[in-house]
Amino acid sequence: MAKIDFGGVLENVVTREEFSLSKAREVLKNEVVAVIGYGVQGPAQALNMKDNGINVIIGQAPEFKADWDKAVKDGFVPGKTLFPVEEAVTKGTIIQYLVSDAAQRILWPKIKPCLKKGDALYFSHGFSITYKEHTGVIPPADVDVILCAPKGSGTSVRRNFLAGAGINSSYSVFQDFTGRAEERTIALGIAIGSGYLFPTTFEQEVFSDLTGERGVLMGALAGIMDAQYKVLRENGHSPSEAFNETVEELTQSLIRLVDENGMDWMYANCSATAQRGALDWRPKFMEATLPVFKELYKRVKSGEECVRVLKSTGAANYKETLDAELRELGNSEMWRAGSAVRKLRPIK
């Protein structure tokens, strides 16, 4: 395990150089990895492992026809490498539980009796285990319980893998029955294409993940964009100008500079006027949003966000409610303007 300096703090990480794909294949050579759920993370992790020579089968409820058909289209064969959920769990030795958090609670009474002594129960999110008093997901004592959480969507996990880059993942062992839990976890992390792996706990993973999704990664990002666009439009700027200054320049230019060498490098490669304004206004935005982030983390840690998720996603009309909320977002003037702007981008 390599020691890496993260801003003055030394952390342990596992790289592909020290834990090679050939070593991962050796660790997993006698395993059957059953990927349960072919929705968001399932396809990416399953296909990456399959391409890396790992023995992968899929467990998917046939009644969810779109996901079943997608697995078939991706090359998994019913009766050979594609099975109903309970049959796949029975056949597997590593059970990758990759259905949604809400579905994990619902499916658990069917999954648990199918687990065998020495199996590994794998998660890509600490939600069900951390909030077990709400989910009821309490694994038996004679299995390994492990986590490998890619820091990106399933689409990014697959896209980065195909590009040869991989995506970073956190990993954790909650329960080590076999004595091989950590080795299995790291091997799986390499097999799904992680660029590197860093240790965490189930609890820390879910607390950081829920905070990030509700915060900078999605909720705060969208909210700040909405606010800036609104102010520009109220002051007479056109939809295209407001969108370009709010979204397009961020996604097509500035964030790529941040990705390459960091925020200070991006600042250094912008105009002096932009630099001065950003440096002056950065602390104002930090002070304005810090109380919101503190409230958010408190709600995540207390389990209030877990209860909100399970209650809302478990409602009978949730799909209709969700679709309506997404339509409202997509049909807003800002994102309709965005659709027009994207069509005008030069063809790559």
Q: How far apart are CA 219 and CA 264, in angstroms?
A: 24
Contact 154, 120 (CB under 8 A): no
What is the arithmetic mean of pLDDT over 199-215? 96
SS3 331: coil
Which conformational region is residue 173 in: left (phi greater than 0), alpha (psi within -120 to 50 degrees), or beta?
beta
Q: Say what the pLDDT of residue 248 is.
A: 96
Q: Which fold has domain 2-199?
A: Rossmann fold (3.40.50)
pLDDT above 90: residue 7: no
Average pLDDT value for the chain: 95
Q: Say what the pLDDT of residue 42 is.
A: 95
Distances (CA, A) of 45 to 24, 89, 184: 15, 17, 15
Q: How far apart are CA 33 and CA 120, in angstroms?
A: 9
Q: How far apart are CA 34 and CA 126, in angstroms?
A: 19
Q: How far apart are CA 35 and CA 348, in angstroms?
A: 35
CB atoms within 10 A of CB 154: 19
Q: How far apart are CA 219 and CA 234, in angstroms?
A: 23
CA atoms within 13 A on the CB side of 103: 14
What is the arithmetic mean of pLDDT over 155-178? 94
Q: Say what the pLDDT of residue 50 is.
A: 97
**Please, what's the b/e burial string for 257-286 (b: 16 or more CB within 10 A of its CB; e: otherwise)?**
beeeeeeeebbeeeeeeeeeeeeeeeeeee
Q: How far apart are CA 181 and CA 121, in angstroms?
A: 10
Q: Say what the pLDDT of residue 10 is.
A: 87
Q: Say what the pLDDT of residue 29 is.
A: 97
pLDDT above 90: residue 11: no
Catalytic residues: 125
Measured in whole angstroms, how far is the alpha carbon of residue 345 from the centre of its chain?
A: 28
**Please, what's the b/e burial string for 6-21 (b: 16 or more CB within 10 A of its CB; e: otherwise)?**
eeeeeeebbebeebee
Residues of CATH 3.40.50.720 domain(s) within the chain? 2-199
Q: Say what the pLDDT of residue 292 is.
A: 97
Contact 225, 216 (CB under 8 A): no
pLDDT above 80: residue 225: yes
pLDDT above 70: residue 160: yes
pLDDT above 90: residue 47: yes
Q: Say what the pLDDT of residue 348 is.
A: 63
Q: Say what the pLDDT of residue 222 is.
A: 96
Identify the band that residue 8 occupies on the pLDDT scale cut at 50, 70 and 90: confident
- Side chain identity, residue 123: F
pLDDT above 90: residue 236: yes
Q: Which two tokens stand for residue 83?
A: 């099975």
Express as a percent the part of the chain with pLDDT over 90.
91
What are the pLDDT digits (tens) for 71-89? 999 999 999 999 999 999 9
What is the arithmetic mean of pLDDT over 214-234? 97
pLDDT above 70: residue 30: yes
pLDDT above 90: residue 124: yes
pLDDT above 90: residue 281: yes
Identify the band that residue 201 occupies on the pLDDT scale cut at 50, 70 and 90: very high
pLDDT above 90: residue 62: yes
